[in-house]
């Protein structure tokens, strides 16, 4: 009976939302980096699914509503950008330069460090698109020979780390412009960073969403070129 309840779609959906809300509360109270709600929720769910013997395809099907809501939230970013369209006028050149710099540094630094430590091509290809959202990262790395599992984990960790440390680093370097702060978070830590940017303000959220989209496009174009010349 208990096993049947654990496998029910309603239970798994409710459990996921409940764990996330509880994780958010714990993080707000503790302010500990290791207790970030996204990270804590993922770890708790992995532990539960393993103990309960629930396979991932069944879990994914059970929380399909959350996938749909995630898609709607991405669409909502478009509205945020529309509200800030006046601010974006005349900023085309800085946006293009920032996107190019973000893509080059994001990919180049990872590749350089990986080569320095003698990592294999598959690993390098898997971790190179770390700063773009998972669907784009996988779509770019997998055809080039990367590992979907490694790419997913690296992108997830990058997003969590950027969300936690990004605002503090920007404050440390005295970056106060909301457009710059938002763009930096979106370019470095994709969707999770964008969620943090929205908490900072509407301008930051809009610029972060724009950066996430442009960095994804730039990475999809740049990484195959880097692969071609490296190998």
Averages of pLDDT over runs of 10 residues in the chain (231 residues) are: 71 92 90 83 92 88 84 71 73 85 89 89 91 87 89 90 89 90 91 87 87 89 83 64
Which pLDDT does position 48 carry in this prediction? 93
Which pLDDT does position 1 carry in this prediction? 52
Which pLDDT does position 47 carry in this prediction? 94
Whole-angstrom Cα distance, residue 16 to residue 63? 8
Whole-angstrom Cα distance, residue 165 to residue 52? 34
Which pLDDT does position 41 carry in this prediction? 92
Whole-angstrom Cα distance, residue 21 to residue 40? 11
Joined together, the tokens standing for residue 99 give 């996107």
- Residue in 229, 222, 175, 212 with CA at minimum distance from that of residue 95: 212
Which pLDDT does position 126 carry in this prediction? 92
Which pLDDT does position 3 carry in this prediction? 58
Whole-angstrom Cα distance, residue 55 to residue 202? 39
Q: How many CB atoms lie within 10 A of CB 63?
A: 18
Block residue for tokens 């996330």:
20
Which pLDDT does position 16 carry in this prediction? 93
- Residue in 192, 185, 176 with CA at minimum distance from that of residue 215: 185
Block residue for tokens 């599992």:
149
Joined together, the tokens standing for residue 219 give 């990475």
From residue 181, how far is each of 56, 168, 191, 217 by CA, in Å?
36, 11, 15, 20
- Residue in 214, 219, 211, 203 with CA at minimum distance from that of residue 183: 211
pTM for the model stands at 0.83
Q: How many CB atoms lie within 10 A of CB 178?
A: 19
The 3-state DSSP class for residue 162 equals helix
Joined together, the tokens standing for residue 110 give 């990872």
Which pLDDT does position 23 carry in this prediction? 92
Question: Domain coordinates of the chain in residue numbers?
Answer: 2-62, 79-230
Joined together, the tokens standing for residue 86 give 């006046």
């Amino acid at each position: 009976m208990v096993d049947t309840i654990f496998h029910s779609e309603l239970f798994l959906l409710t459990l996921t939302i409940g764990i996330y809300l509880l994780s958010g509360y714990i993080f707000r109270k503790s302010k500990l980096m290791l207790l970030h709600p996204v990270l804590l929720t993922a770890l708790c769910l992995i532990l539960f699914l393993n103990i309960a013997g629930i396979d991932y395809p069944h879990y994914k099907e059970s929380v399909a509503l959350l996938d749909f809501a995630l898609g709607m939230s991405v669409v909502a970013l478009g509205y945020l950008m529309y509200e800030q369209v006046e601010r974006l006028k005349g900023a085309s050149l800085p946006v293009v330069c920032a996107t190019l710099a973000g893509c080059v540094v994001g990919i180049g630094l990872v590749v350089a460090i990986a080569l320095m430590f003698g990592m294999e091509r598959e690993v390098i290809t898997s971790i190179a698109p770390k700063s773009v959202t998972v669907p784009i990262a996988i779509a770019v790395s997998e055809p080039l020979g990367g590992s979907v599992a490694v790419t997913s984990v690296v992108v997830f960790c990058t997003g969590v780390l950027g969300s936690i440390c990004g605002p503090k680093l920007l404050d440390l370097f005295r970056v106060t412009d909301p457009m710059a702060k938002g763009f930096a978070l979106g370019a470095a830590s994709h969707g999770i960073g964008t969620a943090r940017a929205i908490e900072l303000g509407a301008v930051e959220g809009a610029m972060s969403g724009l950066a996430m989209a442009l960095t994804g496009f730039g990475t999809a174009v740049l990484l195959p070129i880097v692969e071609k010349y490296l190998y």
